[in-house]
Amino acid sequence: MNNTKPYTVITGASSGIGYAAAEAFARRAKNVIVVARRQDRLEELKQKMGERYPAVDVVVKVCDLSIPANAHQLYQELKEYPLETWINNAGFGNYDSVARQDLSRIETMLHVNVTALTILSSLYVRDYKDVPGTQLINISSRGGYCIVPNAITYCAAKFYVSAFTEGLAHELKAQQAELKAKVLAPAATQTEFGKIANGVAKYDYDKSFGRYHTSEQMADLLLALYDSNQTVGAVDDETFAFTLRAPVFGYAGGSLHNQKAVK
């Protein structure tokens, strides 16, 4: 373990954007802690990065974030590491009507996409809000800023991610905290997402979408958000243009009708 340099934590790192993001941060000589359920994929990633970036320390943490208690345990296990950046990327989608959706699957999705993200974000903020150079980046979706037909519950979960992270960014700014909270909103990205969300063994992005990004392209856009002073990095679902900007949702920080602070 190389504790002289801080670490970047990436959940959902066994595939897709998380896998590509781990490689992107390693290219910048950042130590990384990769988290996911599939140990074999994480070990494969660690071996690959060890060959390419031997000076980078790669820590593997196997964790099923659909169980809320595991999120607490994961964070406690990482207390020994100095953490510079935390990226909550773990999550999955579901395509189905509200009337037909599998509620067991939906409960699992909400535990991963909402509950675990909230727990890990909150714990990280408690410990690092006053540490210079720290960042929390939560992965939302274009579906976290618009409603996609046949994916209502998924979009609602991602609206939560977007609103929670933007609100946290406002809160941290008001507290003059050092930590920055940011949200990345990809559009269609060629990952395992399509296969899992549709419950199929194979999924053809070329047939399903006119345009899409690769995981590597999204990892590069994630780095652009990381390097910026903006809160939101979003891909337009029509033009696929990437925009860095201030928070989107309104914030009633200056309203005279807010609840008075309770001491």
Residue 200's region, left for phi above 0, alpha for psi from -120 to 50, else beta, is beta
**pLDDT in the model for residue 193:** 66
| pLDDT score of 44 more than 90 | yes
Average pLDDT over residues 190-203: 70
DSSP character string of 100-125: T--HHHHHHHHIIIIIIHHHHHHHHH
**Two tokens, residue 1:** 């373990």
Which pLDDT tens digit goes with each residue over 104-113? 999 999 999 9
**pLDDT in the model for residue 204:** 77
**pLDDT in the model for residue 1:** 43
**Bridge partners, 181 (sequence order):** 136
- pTM score: 0.92
DSSP character string of 165-188: HHHHHHHHHHTT-S-EEEEEE--S
7-245: CATH topology is Rossmann fold (3.40.50)
Would you kindly state where each structural domain of the chain is located, as residue ranges?
A: 7-245
The backbone torsions φ and ψ at residue 104, rounded to the nearest 5 degrees and listed phi first, read: -65, -45
**pLDDT in the model for residue 197:** 66
**pLDDT in the model for residue 208:** 74
Average pLDDT over residues 149-174: 97
- Alpha-carbon distance of 162 to 167, in angstroms, equals 8
190 band by pLDDT with thresholds 50, 70 and 90: confident
Average pLDDT over residues 47-64: 96
Output helix, strand, coil percentages for the chain, rounded to the nearest 5: 40, 15, 40
**pLDDT in the model for residue 3:** 54
| pLDDT score of 2 more than 90 | no
Average pLDDT over residues 118-132: 98
- Please list, in sequence order, all residues whose beta carbon lies within 8 angstroms of the beta carbon of residue 123, skipping any fewer than 6 positions away: 72, 75
| pLDDT score of 203 more than 70 | no
8 Å CB contact between 58 and 34: yes
8 Å CB contact between 78 and 123: no
Q: What is the DSSP letter of 112?
A: I
Looking up tokens 């897709």 gives: 16
- Describe the strand order of the beta sheet including 135-139 as a list of residue ranges: 58-62, 31-36, 7-11, 83-88, 135-139, 180-185, 232-235, 242-245
Which pLDDT tens digit goes with each residue over 221-254? 999 999 999 999 999 988 999 999 999 999 998 8
**Two tokens, residue 263:** 């001491």
Average pLDDT over residues 91-111: 95
Query: Measured in whole angstroms, how far is the alpha carbon of residue 102 from the centre of its chain?
Result: 24
- Alpha-carbon distance of 223 to 85, in angstroms, equals 12
**pLDDT in the model for residue 207:** 73
Mean pLDDT, all residues of the chain: 93
